[in-house]
Amino acid sequence: MKKIAIVTGGTSGIGEATAKLLLENHFKVIVTGRRAERLSEFQQKYGTDNVQTLCFDIQNENEVLNALITLPEEWKTIDVLVNNAGLAWGLGKFFEGNSNHWNAMIDTNVKGLLYVSKVVANWMKDRRLGHIVNIGSIAGKEVYMNGNVYCATKHAVDALTKAMRIELAEYNVKVTGIHPGAVETEFSEVRFDGDKERAKAVYQGFENLIADDIADAVFYSVSRKPHVNINDLVIMPTAQPAAGVIFKRLND
Ligand code: NDP
Ligand code: 8X3
């Protein structure tokens, strides 16, 4: 029988690559996001037997709860939750910061992750089986100039990952944290309010990670033997030795 995974933020980037890789490896996948059209395209491509979609804004607890309870009973036996939905918005000094940006990052990256995890962890706990994979960031291990609130939310994800692991171990639920450095996705476009040129420049002059690199790490983590848990993975581009430090060759 196929396992069931739910991937939040599966409409682009790391989440989409992860959903695809899991489908290629005999999982059925519930994909979530706000962009209904992308969700529907994804489901059409892989079929309703293998893909369910849930369209909700993860910042809104009622939307999250109402969406999750609509899942058919046979889709609630979730084996793997990938908490991936997230964003950075803005890059600048905290004392010049925009509280709309702060709220969106805190509500999405921290509170949204908690809303989904609470429901799904209870389903896993009842079955004494499951695996939660939280997509943190190198920004959750270190702090870089102008990253302030984004870094704070990802430090919170790191702390919650450790807390979940401690609190769920007695129920046979594994918890893994995966912390990437720079991955070229829609991340920088979102961070810079849709400015494609500025976003593109982030990834010029070095070989960034791609979404498939992180999907690969998620699949590695969830395909270990039952007694083996991958606690934590930090995955960086070779040219990025630390948060906010990238060696670029701009004349290549
Ligand atoms: P993308 O912008 O490509 O993807 C973000 C995903 O999150 C989208 O599917 C988006 O879906 C979803 N999402 C964002 N806000 C909400 C919301 N309010 N409600 C529901 N879904 C939401 O970026 P990435 O793939 O790069 O990012 C995925 C994760 O990886 C994030 O947590 C990010 O912080 C983390 N990360 C990214 C790195 C990078 O360099 N790219 C490095 C380290 C970590 P939709 O817009 O349809 O709602
Ligand atoms: C994003 C990682 O290094 O691009 O979470 O800020 S980095």
CA of 133 to the centre of ligand 2 (A): 18
7-43 pLDDT per residue, tens: 999 999 999 999 999 999 999 999 999 999 999 999 9
Q: Does pLDDT of 76 surpass 90?
A: yes
- Token readout for 186 is 């829609």
Catalytic residue among 46, 115, 144, 150: 150
Q: Please work out whether the CB of residue 243 comes within 6 Å of at least one atom of ligand 2.
A: yes
Average pLDDT, the chain: 98
Fold of 3-235: Rossmann fold (3.40.50)
Alpha carbon nearest to ligand 1 atom 33, residue = 86
- What proportions of the chain, in percent to the nearest 5, are helix, strand and coil? 45, 20, 35
pLDDT score of 21: 98
**Is 16 in contact with 41 (CB distance < 8 Å)?**
no
pLDDT given for residue 250 in this prediction: 72
Q: Is the CB of 222 under 6 A from ligand 2?
A: no
Kindly state the tokens that stand for 154: 């990802």
pLDDT digits (tens, 9 = 90+) for 167-186: 999 999 999 999 999 999 99
Q: Which amino acid is at 125?
A: K
What pLDDT shows up at residue 251? Answer: 67
What does the block give as tokens for 193? Answer: 């309010």
First to last CA, the chain: 50
Which residues on neighbouring strands pair with residue 30, listed in sequence order? 6, 52
Centre of ligand 2 from the C-alpha of residue 123, in Å: 32
Task: Provide the 8-state DSSP code for 141.
Answer: T
Task: Quick: pLDDT tens for 90-107.
Answer: 999 999 999 999 999 999
pLDDT tier for residue 65 given thresholds of 50, 70 and 90 = very high
Confidence tier at 46 by pLDDT (50, 70, 90): very high
Query: Scanning the structure block, which residue is given the tokens 């499951």?
Result: 130
pLDDT above 90 as % of the chain = 98
Q: Which pTM was predicted?
A: 0.98
* pLDDT for residue 252 is more than 60: no
Neighbours of 136 (CB within 10 A): 27
**Sequence ranges of the domains in the chain:** 3-235
Identify the residue whose tokens are 């999750």: 68
Residue 188 near ligand 1, beta carbon < 6 Å: no
- Ligand 1, atom nearest to 185 Cα: 3
Strand order in the sheet with 27-33: 51-55, 27-33, 3-7, 80-83, 130-135, 173-180, 232-235
pLDDT digits (tens, 9 = 90+) for 218-241: 999 999 999 999 999 999 999 999
CA–CA gap between residue 86 and residue 102 (Å, rounded): 13
* Nearest protein CA to atom 5 of ligand 2, as residue: 137
CA 126 and chain centroid, separation: 24
Q: What is the mean pLDDT of residues 198-226?
A: 98
**Residue 54 tokens, joined:** 């849930």
